Amino acid sequence: MTDAVFFVLAGVIVASALGMVQARNLFHAGLALITCFLGVAGIYVLLKSPFIAALQVLIYAGAIAVILLFGFMLTHHVMHTDPHKRFTQQAAGLGAALAMGLVLVVTIAVSPWNKGAQAVPVSDLGSLGQQLLTTYLLPFELASAFLLAALVGAIMIARKEEGPPPA
Amino acid sequence: MEYAYVALFLLGGLAFVGATLTLNRFVTSPHRPSASKLLAYECGEPPIGEAWVQYNARYYLFAMMFVLFDVEAAFVIPWAVGFKTMSLDLGILPLLEMLIFLSLLALALVYAWRKGALEWV
């Protein structure tokens, strides 16, 4: 059963990832990316990490996808450019993909995989919250300061562009 | 397997959309597209230009507001779950730490409000 679900999810992830790379329309690529994110959330559920799965949906399929799609829609003429056209971009894409692949392969190769039969530790949301407020207190508070800065920046950008009326 | 419901819901949703679209083929009139039939319907007005335009930068603000409170929720949930045990160990500290976190984000909201960013001009 778990195997079947895994292969269905893996199929969705690989298909949507290919769809994203192949899409001629940047907006469609973004939608395919969201499908890919949702498939990865399903993998987290299979790994018995429901909170990580929820975060995957909330942060990746939610926040990051929204920023990405808004970025496309707010950028001048980006919807009409074909990302596959220019050779320099293709070369840059190939280089980035190869570098990323190298990092992944090396990480998988050197990671000490636990192949024993001991129980997988249950994800404990409460202790995660406790660590956030003790060990990782500074990053935790800094996160809210960063979010504040991001919003102030967004207001500045939106105020500055007092050109044509909202579409 | 409590996620069986999620899978069931997903399949049900896909089946509903698929069935509706398939049924549409049989129920509605024959498929004979023409230029004026394929025109985007804008209350009877002929549409100007196309939909792939550059949108106003003001929309970025709403995206950013969503991200702000989206990430806030992601941080508050583990805090809320572990709050009881943390309070037994640390007293009022967890509450104060979260109040600092939330007050910074509240400051962002107040700033946006005061700047009139929540108003639609």
Which tokens go with A166?
């909202």
Q: Among the residues of chain A, which ranges form H helices?
A: 2-22, 26-46, 50-55, 65-74, 87-110, 125-133, 137-160
Among the partner residues A62, A73, A129, nearest to B86 by beta-carbon distance: A129
Kindly identify which residue of chain B lies nearest to residue A72, measuring between CA atoms.
Answer: B54
B69: closest CA among B94, B102, B97? B102
A70: closest CA among A111, A26, A18? A26
**Among A59-63, A103-107, A126-130, which is the least confidently predicted range?**
A126-130
Each domain of chain A, given as residue ranges in start order, spans 1-80
pLDDT digits (tens, 9 = 90+) for A24-54: 888 889 999 999 999 999 999 888 888 899 8
pLDDT digits (tens, 9 = 90+) for B1-13: 677 888 899 899 9
B117: closest CA among A147, A142, A156? A156
Which tokens go with B105?
């984000």
Rounded to 5°, the CA angle A150-A152-A154 comes to 70
Binary contact (A165, B75; C-beta < 8 A): no
pLDDT at A82: 63
pLDDT at A18: 94
Which helix (H) or strand (E) segment holds residue B105: the answer is helix B93-114
Which tokens go with B86?
């943390």
Q: CA B57, CA A160: separation in Å to the nearest integer?
A: 9
Interface of B with A in 10-49 (CB under 8 A): none
Coil, strand or helix at B42: strand
Q: CA B95, CA B80: separation in Å to the nearest integer?
A: 10
For B84, phi then psi, to 5°, come to -65, -50
B94 interfacial to chain A (CB closer than 8 Å): yes
What's the CATH number for A1-80?
1.20.120.1200
Binary contact (A159, B115; C-beta < 8 A): yes
Mean predicted lDDT score pLDDT of chain B: 84
**pTM (2 decimals)?**
0.78
SS3 content of chain B, % helix, strand, coil (to 5): 65, 0, 35
Kindly identify which residue of chain A lies nearest to residue B56, measuring between CA atoms.
Answer: A166
- Give the DSSP per-residue string, B40-105: PPBTTBPPPS-S--PPPTHHHHHHHHHHHHHHHHHHHHHHHHTHHHHHHHHTTHHHHHHHHHHHHH
* Residue A7 pLDDT > 50: yes
User: Which conformational region is residue A20 in: left (phi greater than 0), alpha (psi within -120 to 50 degrees), or beta?
Assistant: alpha
B65 interfacial to chain A (CB closer than 8 Å): yes
Q: What is the mean pLDDT of residues B30-53?
A: 78
The winner for highest mean pLDDT among A6-15, A47-56, B68-77, B82-91 is A6-15
